[in-house]
Amino acid sequence: MCRFLVYKGREMFMSDLLLNADRSLIVQSYKAKERTEPLNGDGFGVGWYAPDIDPIPCVFTSTSPAWSNRNLFRLSEKIRSVCFFAHVRAATKGAYVSEFNCHPFQFEQFLWMHNGKIAQFDKIKRKLRESLEDDYYNFIQGTTDSEHAFAVFLNKLGNRISDYSSEDLCNALNSTIQQICEWQRAAGISDSSYLNFAISDGHNVVASRYVTNPEKEPPTLYISSGERFITHAGKFTMEPSLRHPNAVIVASEPLTSNRVPI
Amino acid sequence: MCRFLVYKGREMFMSDLLLNADRSLIVQSYKAKERTEPLNGDGFGVGWYAPDIDPIPCVFTSTSPAWSNRNLFRLSEKIRSVCFFAHVRAATKGAYVSEFNCHPFQFEQFLWMHNGKIAQFDKIKRKLRESLEDDYYNFIQGTTDSEHAFAVFLNKLGNRISDYSSEDLCNALNSTIQQICEWQRAAGISDSSYLNFAISDGHNVVASRYVTNPEKEPPTLYISSGERFITHAGKFTMEPSLRHPNAVIVASEPLTSNRVPI
Amino acid sequence: MCRFLVYKGREMFMSDLLLNADRSLIVQSYKAKERTEPLNGDGFGVGWYAPDIDPIPCVFTSTSPAWSNRNLFRLSEKIRSVCFFAHVRAATKGAYVSEFNCHPFQFEQFLWMHNGKIAQFDKIKRKLRESLEDDYYNFIQGTTDSEHAFAVFLNKLGNRISDYSSEDLCNALNSTIQQICEWQRAAGISDSSYLNFAISDGHNVVASRYVTNPEKEPPTLYISSGERFITHAGKFTMEPSLRHPNAVIVASEPLTSNRVPI
Amino acid sequence: MCRFLVYKGREMFMSDLLLNADRSLIVQSYKAKERTEPLNGDGFGVGWYAPDIDPIPCVFTSTSPAWSNRNLFRLSEKIRSVCFFAHVRAATKGAYVSEFNCHPFQFEQFLWMHNGKIAQFDKIKRKLRESLEDDYYNFIQGTTDSEHAFAVFLNKLGNRISDYSSEDLCNALNSTIQQICEWQRAAGISDSSYLNFAISDGHNVVASRYVTNPEKEPPTLYISSGERFITHAGKFTMEPSLRHPNAVIVASEPLTSNRVPI
């Protein structure tokens, strides 16, 4: 069911988030702890913002496992950013391994990731697609429920796509989740859907931790915020902030010890 | 715009069609002759039937160029069949290189290939998908116009999908082409669509060579039939047949000298 | 440290060995049981003989994990053989993921696989290569200790490479192991080397289970032999043989219940 | 026989060198002009320096053709550097497509590329390897003559590898070429070897254009230098410099109009 992480804060190297932290995303790719199935070897993706160049994030994806991708290792030592998305994938049955199915998905300034799954997605896929404006309809390249959910989100933002507030992003995410639940009900699907999403435009980060069935537990999601995420004697910690926090990490599994589940 | 070949006849080695003939499909992958753009390096696929095992064809596809794929070279020396499909791809803009976009496409006993393109496909994609029954709607994995056209074909066959005559296949192909043309007209698209298709179930092979604009030339397509396709002094030839031909090759470019354009 | 299997017996489908058995090699690729580290996701390879065509085996390898390779799934339903080699790889550090490093390795009629590792291989690599005849020196494509050990084996067979008895193969394998141990001693390497090898020419299969340090346990290796390897009510079993066995499986982990550790 | 380019000068975007110039390296990957065989589709690589981070260059390589690699397109819009290496490969027979065989090769602060081939390389390979110190012997991962030539270069630099002048680099390159010629002569090889090499450490760039047989033409190599490489009305030009040039491009084919063959 995948693992992901979002970082926003002072400029950091990708390697510190992906490779160097104790339970870095690379470690989660072969030995995720807080899941029954520890393996996330069906491709990966990283996205990051370079606001001094332009608002469009860069994305690097591959269907190879993250743990053996030499390009990823080499790039992560050289790429610094104030905002990262990273994702390791465990393919849900039927949504095959393909570059088109690697997260994060990107549309204009937005990055999107999903950890979870929409139950019996094929039963609502047609209705979902019909609801989309042409631009978002044709934007979809792959077969994942995740990318389709992104298209729903973009559709919900609608004509505010280039002029929105933080609240608009929150509302669009809420509304995306409600819409999916509604289609599920209409199709008579009672299996649980797991809807941990993350969306960013490089300035705002919005994330959800949600399961349709209140008796089930959604996949874990941790948030850690503070002054900055730094190394003390080889260990990464989030240094506490006295004021408004300058750094935040949202991740399927904690990279650090001072964390709070969402 | 891709190159393809179909073979039906006595059991042959894949290597004779792919590697050994003068202008084999491997040669066409880097040096196609009868096109302005000689390169077909955006993946390839082969499909073949093993009727002594079951009616479902085997498919081997890759996004790597055919000319350097060691698995293809090794397999083709060992795989024999009475019916082959093979395709080398030059990606149309917007339909990216992906395993999901490699031909031949397979559904149950059918293999399908396309050489050409549906003009401004995005403008009719939504209408096309809406017309499909759920099974064929959900069958589509990739983004090509070609795979979508296959779904239209399957939809046209409808409930005759497991009980049909050769004529039913011809009619379904005709009807697929007409339907695409109709959607094009309705969308006000006047650019030419190139619709060379091939379909087989291992017993029947149906192929079309078609362009929507009668003033344009469709991509080349040659047919060669005879007793058998054999080597004489290192050169492949189709040996003439006095009776009903036992072997037939339909290909974007002739592998042999005694051929007739379709 | 990889997992492998060899089958020799009546003609079987590759799918029965790779996919259908309870603890098939595909299962071992993501959930190997008899190892601390359950993951073998750094590529795979299969090899098989088609004696009615020629004595050279076919090999299909990929750096993608076996569990998600669609070509492997499709091919394994159609390929039947009397002799299979199959291998899933967990890369040893320093011997990177590459098609050149996928087992089985092939030279003329031979297939070779290794499960284990030669300790501090770089310290004996130069001496090893110097010992090789030009043909075997230039045969090496990758960086693994395993492929280099194969070259040593071929060198030991020497001019008997096209005219040998079963004993010659056993002797060459023994002699390969002794030679490696000798180079290790000469280089002052005391770390344990794990030398489970399998070699075949389609008729003979020779396998070793060996560790240089007698106090350590070599990787598991099981042998199962009988009349044939068949399905009884959805479960695979090796049917006992009253006479000389007609089928044999040598595998890192048992696929069947009636097995004997080597 | 490959195409390459080196840039050193003011910080530029990779996209301007790879994508935007008229005859960018991407164009050369499918339509090289100054060669009989226009195709360089057997993988590619880019390397660049980030001197504000550390002296080790970053390398991004792939066996896929450059023209369809989405990661390359996305990265090149975001990566800026004062020194780039880029290479598109046409594999020489026998040196198969593999990530290990993609240029540029990197060792510590050095990047190395080759356009050409060492004739009958297998005949001198053993002698070449024997001449190498252990570090460079074990550094070699792939099978190309090019990577082996790099090891010879490093060996020639010897203990000056972290303390050298520009002249030392020139001398080591000269001495590498002479050494290869000497081995060729000793092995009785009279076929021509083509030895266009480029080496950099981020500060110095040294390149050779050389063929062993004085009657043959080495592969083209152009040099262009000036104040800076800029866009005027959509066309890239090298702006002339009145003083010591600040920008230099060395490339198999000119990207610009004001160039001088080496």
The tens place of each residue's pLDDT in chain D, 262 residues long, gives 689 999 999 999 999 999 887 778 888 888 776 656 678 889 999 999 999 999 999 999 999 999 999 999 999 999 999 999 999 998 865 558 888 999 999 999 999 999 999 999 999 999 999 999 999 999 999 999 999 999 999 999 988 888 999 999 999 999 999 999 999 999 999 999 999 999 999 999 999 999 999 899 888 899 989 988 887 766 788 888 888 888 999 999 887 654 455 5
Residues of D in contact with A74 (CB under 8 A): 58-60
pTM over cut 0.90: yes
Mutant choice from D68, D71, D72, D92 vs B, greatest count of B C-beta within 10 A:
D68
CA–CA–CA angle B99, B105, B109 (5° rounding)? 140
**Interchain contact B78–C (C-beta under 8 A):** yes
Query: Nearest by CB to D68, which of B30, B67, B91?
Result: B91
CA distance D216 to chain B (A): 26
**C-alpha pair distances (Å), A2 with each of A23, A43, A115:** 15, 10, 5
The per-residue pLDDT for D103 is 96
Residues of D in contact with C142 (CB under 8 A): 100
CA torsion, points D57, D18, A49, A128, in degrees to nearest 10?
-130
CA distance C119 to chain D (A): 15
Would you call B29 helix, strand, or coil by DSSP?
helix
| Amino acid at site D37 | E
Q: How buried is C122 (Cβ within 10 angstroms: 0-12 exposed, 13-18 middle, 19+ buried)?
A: middle
Q: How far apart are CA D16 and CA D249, in angstroms?
A: 12
Is the pLDDT higher at B229 or at A57?
Answer: A57
Residues of B in contact with D35 (CB under 8 A): none
- Is A23 within 8 Å of A69 (Cβ atoms)? no
| Amino acid at site D169 | L
The answer to whether residue B262 scores a pLDDT higher than 90 is no
The answer to whether residue C160 scores a pLDDT higher than 90 is no
**C-alpha pair distances (Å), D105 with each of D84, D145, D151:** 13, 12, 10
| Amino acid at site D91 | A
Close Cβ partners of D134 (under 8 Å, ≥ 6 residues apart) = C122, C126
**Interchain contact B72–D (C-beta under 8 A):** no
**Interchain contact D130–C (C-beta under 8 A):** yes
**Interchain contact B196–C (C-beta under 8 A):** no
Q: Which of A154, A192, A189, A147 is nearest to A175 (CA)?
A: A154
- C-alpha dihedral sign at C233, C234, C238, C243: positive
Searching chain D, which residue's CA lies closest to the CA of residue B92? D68
Q: How far apart are CA C118 and CA C195, in angstroms?
A: 7
Q: How far is CA C224 from the centre of its chain?
A: 16
Is the pLDDT higher at A252 or at B255?
Answer: A252
CA distance B10 to chain C (A): 16
The answer to whether residue C32 scores a pLDDT higher than 90 is no
Computed over every residue of chain B, the mean pLDDT equals 90
Summarize the confidence of residues C234-245 as an average pLDDT: 82
The answer to whether residue C151 scores a pLDDT higher than 90 is yes
Helix or strand run (H / E) with residue D166: helix D166-186
CA distance D60 to chain A (A): 6
All partners of chain B with 3 or more CB pairs under 8 angstroms: A, C, D
Searching chain C, which residue's CA lies closest to the CA of residue A90? C68
Would you call D37 helix, strand, or coil by DSSP?
coil
Q: How far apart are CA C152 and CA C133, in angstroms?
A: 9
Would you call A178 helix, strand, or coil by DSSP?
helix
Do residue B60 and residue C74 have CB atoms under 8 angstroms apart? Answer: yes
Do residue A138 and residue B130 have CB atoms under 8 angstroms apart? Answer: no
Would you call D212 helix, strand, or coil by DSSP?
coil
The per-residue pLDDT for D237 is 83
- Is C117 within 8 Å of C91 (Cβ atoms)? no
| Amino acid at site A154 | L
- Is D96 within 8 Å of D90 (Cβ atoms)? no
Query: Nearest by CB to A70, which of C64, C65, C96?
Result: C96
Do residue C30 and residue A42 have CB atoms under 8 angstroms apart? Answer: no
Query: Nearest by CB to B74, which of C59, C74, C78?
Result: C59
- Name the percent of chain B lying above pLDDT 90: 68
| Residues A198-216: tens digit of each pLDDT | 999 999 999 999 999 989 9
Residues of D in contact with A47 (CB under 8 A): none
Residues of C known to be catalytic: 2
CA distance B123 to chain A (A): 9
CA distance B230 to chain A (A): 39
| Helix locations, C140-249, DSSP H | 145-157, 166-186
**C-alpha pair distances (Å), C182 with each of C189, C191, D20:** 10, 13, 58
| Per-residue pLDDT tens listing for chain A (262 residues) | 689 999 999 999 999 999 887 778 888 888 776 656 678 889 999 999 999 999 999 999 999 999 999 999 999 999 999 999 999 998 865 558 888 999 999 999 999 999 999 999 999 999 999 999 999 999 999 999 999 999 999 999 988 888 999 999 999 999 999 999 999 999 999 999 999 999 999 999 999 999 999 899 888 899 989 988 887 666 788 888 888 888 999 999 887 654 455 5
Searching chain B, which residue's CA lies closest to the CA of residue D64? B64
Residues of C in contact with B80 (CB under 8 A): 53
Residues of B in contact with C50 (CB under 8 A): 78
Does the annotation mark D2 as catalytic?
A: yes
The per-residue pLDDT for A239 is 86
Searching chain B, which residue's CA lies closest to the CA of residue A134? B126
Which DSSP state fits D219? P
The answer to whether residue C164 scores a pLDDT higher than 90 is yes
**Interchain contact B135–A (C-beta under 8 A):** no
**Interchain contact B68–D (C-beta under 8 A):** yes
CA distance A119 to chain B (A): 15
- Is A132 within 8 Å of A20 (Cβ atoms)? no
Searching chain B, which residue's CA lies closest to the CA of residue D94? B68
- Is D171 within 8 Å of D116 (Cβ atoms)? no
Mutant choice from C78, C105, C109 vs B, greatest count of B C-beta within 10 A:
C78
Residues of C in contact with A41 (CB under 8 A): 30, 39, 41, 65, 67-68
Q: How far apart are CA A74 and CA A168, in angstroms?
A: 37
**Interchain contact B125–A (C-beta under 8 A):** yes
CA distance D143 to chain C (A): 6
Neighbours of C105 (CB within 10 A): 32
Does the N-terminal peptide bond of residue C104 adopt cis geometry, omega within 30 degrees of 0?
yes
Which DSSP state fits A162? T
Helix C122-130 / helix C166-186 crossing angle, nearest 10 deg: 130
Residues of D in contact with B30 (CB under 8 A): 39, 41
Q: How far is CA A11 from the centre of its chain?
A: 19
CA torsion, points B168, B174, B177, B181, in degrees to nearest 10?
-130
| Burial readout D36-66 (b: 16 or more C-beta within 10 A, e: otherwise) | eebbbbbbbbbbbbbeeeeebbbbbbbbbbb
Q: Is the ipTM of this complex over 0.85?
A: yes
Residues of A known to be catalytic: 2
**Interchain contact B133–A (C-beta under 8 A):** no
CA distance A95 to chain D (A): 21
Q: Band the pLDDT of B26: cuts 50, 70, 90.
A: confident
| Residues C41-64: tens digit of each pLDDT | 899 999 999 999 999 999 999 999
Searching chain A, which residue's CA lies closest to the CA of residue B123? A134
- D 48-67 → A contacts, CB under 8 A: 50, 53-54, 56, 58-62
Do residue C71 and residue B78 have CB atoms under 8 angstroms apart? Answer: no
Q: How far is CA D148 from the centre of its chain?
A: 14
- B 229-258 → C contacts, CB under 8 A: none
What are the counts of helices (DSSP H) followed by strands (DSSP E) for chain B?
7, 13
The per-residue pLDDT for C259 is 46
Would you call C137 helix, strand, or coil by DSSP?
helix
The per-residue pLDDT for B261 is 53
Q: How far apart are CA C108 and CA C103, in angstroms?
A: 15
**Interchain contact B71–D (C-beta under 8 A):** no
- Is C55 within 8 Å of C109 (Cβ atoms)? yes
Query: Nearest by CB to A64, which of C30, C39, C64?
Result: C64
All partners of chain C with 3 or more CB pairs under 8 angstroms: A, B, D
Tokens of A76: 């992560």
The per-residue pLDDT for B160 is 86
| Amino acid at site A1 | M
**Interchain contact B98–C (C-beta under 8 A):** no
**Interchain contact C163–D (C-beta under 8 A):** no
Do residue C143 and residue D96 have CB atoms under 8 angstroms apart? Answer: no
- C-alpha dihedral sign at C73, C79, C81, C85: negative
Q: How far apart are CA B35 and CA B44, in angstroms?
A: 18
Query: Nearest by CB to C70, which of A41, A70, A96?
Result: A96
Do residue A41 and residue C64 have CB atoms under 8 angstroms apart? Answer: no
Close Cβ partners of B214 (under 8 Å, ≥ 6 residues apart) = none
What are the counts of helices (DSSP H) followed by strands (DSSP E) for chain C?
7, 13
Q: How far apart are CA D8 and CA D14, in angstroms?
A: 12
